[in-house]
Amino acid sequence: MQATSDKSINEYFKIRIDTLRAELPIPFDLFFKTTAHMVTYLRAGDHLNAEKFKTLLLKDSGQHFYLLESDRWAYRHFMKEQIQIGSLSSSEKAHLLRASALGFIEEMFEQPDVHKALDDAKPLIQDFVDVMESDPATMADLISLSSHDFYTYNHSLDVSIYSLALAKTLGFDRPHLEELGLGALFHDIGKRLVKLEILLKQGALDEPEWDQMQRHPQFGLEILVTKPNITPGIIAACFEHHESWAGNGYPQKLAGDEIHPYGRIIAITDTFDAMTTKRSYNTPMTPQASLEMMRDKLKGRYDPEMIKAMTHVLFTQLT
Ligand SMILES: [Fe+2]
Ligand SMILES: [Fe+2]
């Protein structure tokens, strides 16, 4: 049964259909957005049959299905319950966690109020730290799931996941993991102020374009510094992620320990994600080759102890 709703779009939030499961009744109404209306697609208590679910998975671009804002808590609870269900394999849990995070991150990045976006991101990062601490197999699957396509949401999420895993290996405690996770999620927030044609340009950037691109840590600082809930650590994650261990990075040309540990971590995970991810103009490198390149050809750019720890994260089972 379908009924048109008269509520405004602001009273809904987008979800990705791959966060639901076939044959599992949902505890909230599911809506489908047509060009003009929001229509009820599934009622609370109903479920999608396996065949229908398969078709939807192929077609859903992540832009069509919505829930009522008032059901946000119910959705979150539903997701948590699924992730904690013993019957799901660690890779199914990782898929689910990633799909729900991506939907959420997309919404967050469209949100003009960065202060609110940061508050909204906290529970997401806490979920990831929980998984990492209680279920290392799912975290390992999350790491191997990364690097499909390159676009900001994927990139931000992947850099955050890699950074959490690297910091855990380095022995960071929970409050620092949560702060770093947030900082990593927002490390490229300054790209909001870089012109879209520069961000999307397929060939090499000319000098003025490169100049503007290199200002994104500074832009990020300007966006974040005015917000009351921002810690110096989050600012450092953003402002110092393009510094280089050797002292020839940007914007401040800091060297070695002068660079905040979060900046040193994200310098590694950011490059690693860019190298291993398929973009329209490059062929992705394998994790092994990327790490070797960072260790050998780009020697001097990264904290050598952290590069060692990153090798451990990627090629040794997370414990
Ligand atoms: Fe960046
Ligand atoms: Fe980045």
Nearest bound ligand to the CA of residue 159: 2
Ligand 1 centroid from CA 220, angstroms: 9
Instruction: Give 227-272 pLDDT, tens digit per residue.
Output: 888 899 999 999 999 999 999 999 999 999 999 999 999 999 999 9
Residues 101 and 202 in one domain: yes
Ligand 1 centroid from CA 141, angstroms: 25
Residues 166 and 116 in one domain: yes
Nearest bound ligand to the CA of residue 270: 2
At 62, the amino acid letter reads G
User: Is 269 a member of any domain?
Assistant: yes
Residues 175 and 283 in one domain: yes
Residues 244 and 107 in one domain: yes
**pTM for this structure?**
0.83
Ligand 2 centroid from CA 216, angstroms: 10
Ligand 1 centroid from CA 191, angstroms: 8
Ligand 2 centroid from CA 156, angstroms: 7
Ligand 2 centroid from CA 187, angstroms: 6
Cβ atoms of 227 and 114 within 8 Å: the answer is: yes
Residues 63 and 110 in one domain: no
> Count of domains in the chain?
2
Ligand 1 centroid from CA 222, angstroms: 15
- SS3 helix, strand, coil % of the chain, rounded to 5? 60, 5, 35
Secondary structure E strands in the chain: 4-5, 12-15, 30-33, 38-42, 65-68
User: Is 196 a member of any domain?
Assistant: yes
61 token code pair: 């671009």
CA atoms within 13 A on the CB side of 303: 26
Closest among 200, 205, 125 to 168, alpha carbons compared: 125
Ligand 2 centroid from CA 228, angstroms: 24
Instruction: Assess whether pLDDT exceeds 80 at residue 85.
Output: no
Nearest bound ligand to the CA of residue 274: 2
Residues 38 and 151 in one domain: no
User: Is 81 a member of any domain?
Assistant: no
Instruction: Give 87-119 pLDDT, tens digit per residue.
Output: 788 888 888 888 888 877 877 777 778 888 888
User: Is 76 a member of any domain?
Assistant: no
User: Is 18 a member of any domain?
Assistant: yes
User: Is 80 a member of any domain?
Assistant: no
Which pLDDT band, with edges at 50, 70 and 90, does 284 fall under?
confident
Residues 125 and 240 in one domain: yes
d(CA 1, CA 5): 13
Ligand 2 centroid from CA 157, angstroms: 10
Q: Which residues does 125 contact at the CB level (< 8 Å), separation at least 6? A: 160, 164, 178, 181, 182, 185
Residues 54 and 113 in one domain: no
User: Is 222 a member of any domain?
Assistant: yes
Instruction: Assess whether pLDDT exceeds 80 at residue 137.
Output: yes
User: Is 189 a member of any domain?
Assistant: yes
Ligand 2 centroid from CA 27, angstroms: 37
Ligand 1 centroid from CA 241, angstroms: 7
Instruction: Assess whether pLDDT exceeds 90 at residue 63.
Output: no
Residues 235 and 261 in one domain: yes
Q: Which of 173-177, 278-282, 286-290 has the lowest mean pLDDT?
A: 278-282
Give residue 237's pLDDT.
97
Instruction: Give 168-221 pLDDT, tens digit per residue.
Output: 999 999 999 999 999 999 999 888 888 888 887 878 899 999 999 999 999 999
d(CA 300, CA 179): 26
Nearest bound ligand to the CA of residue 249: 1
Alpha helices in 26-112 (DSSP H): 50-59, 72-84, 90-110
The percent of residues in the chain predicted with pLDDT above 90, rounded, is 47
Ligand 2 centroid from CA 102, angstroms: 16
Residues 230 and 170 in one domain: yes
Ligand 2 centroid from CA 1, angstroms: 44
Residues 102 and 220 in one domain: yes
Instruction: Give 156-166 pLDDT, tens digit per residue.
Output: 899 999 999 99
Residues 147 and 209 in one domain: yes
The CATH number that applies at residue 311 is: 1.10.3210.10
Domain range for 155 is 88-315
